[in-house]
Structure 1
Amino acid sequence: MGTRPNRMTDAPAALLPVALQAAEIASDLVRTRVPGLLTAKGDRDMASEVDHAVERAVRDYLKERTPDIAILGEEEGITGDTAGDLMWAIDPVDGTANFVRNIPLCGFSLGLIERGRPVVGVIDLPFLGTRYHAAQHTGAYLGDRRIQASMTTDLKDAIVAIGDYAVGERAEAKNRQRIALTERLAANVQRVRMLGSAAIDLAWVAEGKLDASITLSNKPWDTAAGVIIAREAGAKITDQYGTNHTFSSNATIAANHSLESVLLSLVASMYK
């Protein structure tokens, strides 16, 4: 018995123009509005008025253009048909702590997830004037230019980004692990960077600015777009055990193919 064709899942690239227009809406808001009042989100975490404004605007646009697709947003949770195969994941401002301090390392991230794996992604960095995008099987792009992961082969030549140290519940225990990772990397790679935005980490792995990024967490709004962009640029994306990265993974490790195994060995040593 054959399956009923679905133009959205058969050709996810067909929804890339929708994601790109959503990024245009978001970028305009981020560039033209001040952060405004901050709302506390637990221990040392916050959202700005712009976070909420961007998410609302993008949600409204996506509901109009793709009413049958569920939407997961960092600020407002999940809405729509959660039983379907597709879901949008929105981070209105990835790197809010940077944004509110006028540090330009922040951006908008929008991924389309199909059955646990991202198939379309757009990352817009409004203050750097760059927009990355990818759709499954079509390559990764910075604007109109196709991009690819770095060719670095030796860990001692690698620049590796790590995710922010933890805040909130169990932060102390989580940070013992993150500090141990930092120590291991500092002894083995050329440089360690903490940029404060998982979206930027993954986009820059895709572009070859970074050779790898290691984030010991996985929030789909942070990672979905970056995972498909980095993957389409030739990077390998796994969890901390080397298993292919999915919606339910507990860590997000992106690296070029030459460095993947040695980095995974380094990370795995922390879990023994």
Structure 2
Amino acid sequence: MAHEAVDLARDMMRTLRPGVLTGKGDRDMASEVDFAIERKLRAFLADRTPQIGFLGEEEGTSGVGDELTWSLDPVDGTVNFVHGSPLCAVSLGLIARKQSVLGVIDLPFLGNRYSAALGHGAFADGERIHASQTADLAEALVALGDFAVGAGAAALNAPRLAITAAFAEQAQRVRMFGSAAIDLAWLAHGRLDAFVMLSNKPWDTSAGVIIAREAGARLADADGSPHTADSGATIGANEALLPAVLALVRQAPPASWPHGRSRPRSGTPG
């Protein structure tokens, strides 16, 4: 059913223009396609799985799911989509008690489909995939999440800028693609060695986290604790590389960590 739902979204992204843009704050927006896809999939999944709740980026929650919730980003990378960049995705995850258990990510303009279910491995276009085994940060390609915009952006971006500078000095290369779903899918596929995003919205990460985990990556919060839907950050790499990634993250100024946290403590990565 998740694949069927994402098929609908993929076809809409391929055929519809962005249309009128709705402002969501300073330099942030949703397109008509964002709303159209979310409404289509909300109705489709409510009909097919009425016992499961639904969380969408644009219009929030609906239905009541005691243990399970669908989590959808209808167009992850809306700014890319509006500008005609192919780096955008549909991201549909299933969350059970704060943990991602199923995910489907489609890259409509690149022609790729990523999927995973808990305990069943991760797949790209039907083929099993595995995370990178790069253990040396100097050989790692690292993707970073977007900078913050809107109210308080300067304070929120202080640790982001510090982390960017730290990885620029130590990683092989640093990239910012503008889509958390793509970052996590490519982490799972071994196309990236690490991913750092100092935010965590379930619609952005629920599908990608389970895909990356099932491919062998480790996902953690900024303090090193296992990643959940309630985490403040999303940090991933293979088991050998993750400690070095977290160590650099911990060096960033602690003035404005997600959820108002102080400097991250040490912990066991998830």
TM-score, normalization by structure 1? 0.92
Please state how far the C-alpha of 1:169 moved relative to its aligned partner. Answer: 2.5
* 1:210 corresponds to: 192
CA distance in 2, matches of 1:86, 1:20: 17
Distance 2:113 2:74 in 1: 14
Q: String of CA shifts for 1:92-130, please: whole Å, max 9, x gaps.
A: 000000000000000100000000001000000000000
The separation in 2 between residues aligned to 1:108 and 1:155, in whole angstroms, is 30
Displacement of 1:177: 1.1
Q: How does 1:231-242 map to 2 (within 5 A)?
A: 231-242=213-224
- Post-superposition CA distance 1:70-101 (Å, at most 9, x none): 1000000011115x010000000000000000
Shift >2 Å, 4+ stretches: none
Structure 1 position 227 matched with structure 2 position 209: yes
2:71, 2:176 → 1: CA distance?
23
Percent identical pairs in the alignment equals: 58
RMSD between superposed Cα atoms in Å: 0.7
**1:3-26 per-position Cα deviation (integer Å, ceiling 9, x unaligned):** xxxxxxxxxxxxxxx111111000
Distance in 1, matches of 2:109 and 2:124, equals: 15
In 1, Cα distance between the equivalents of 2:152 and 2:201? 16
Displacement of 1:47 in angstroms is 0.3
- Distance in 2 between residues matched to 1:94 and 1:189, nearest whole Å: 26
Tell me which residue corresponds to 2:2.
19
Distance 1:35 1:218 in 2: 25
Alignment partners' CA distance in 1, 2:151 and 2:99: 27
Letter matched to residue 99 of structure 2: R
Structure 2 gaps of 5+ residues are: 255-262, 264-270
Q: Give 1:222 deviation, angstroms.
A: 0.3
Q: TM-score, normalized by length of structure 2? A: 0.93
SS of 1:187's equivalent in the other structure is helix
Is 1:256 aligned to residue 256 of structure 2? no
* 1:138 corresponds to: 120
- Name 1:243's counterpart in structure 2: 225
Q: How far has the Cα of 1:168 moved from its partner?
A: 1.6
What is the CA distance between 1:212 and its match in structure 2?
Answer: 0.6
Give the aligned partner of residue 13 of structure 1. none
Q: CA deviation at 1:144?
A: 1.2
State the number of aligned residues.
Answer: 254
1:63 aligns with 2:46: yes
Superposition pairs for residues 1-272 of structure 1, below 5 Å?
A: 18-82=1-65, 84-270=66-252, 271=254, 272=263
Q: Deviations over 1:160-201 (max 9, x none)?
A: 000000012211101111100100000100000000000000
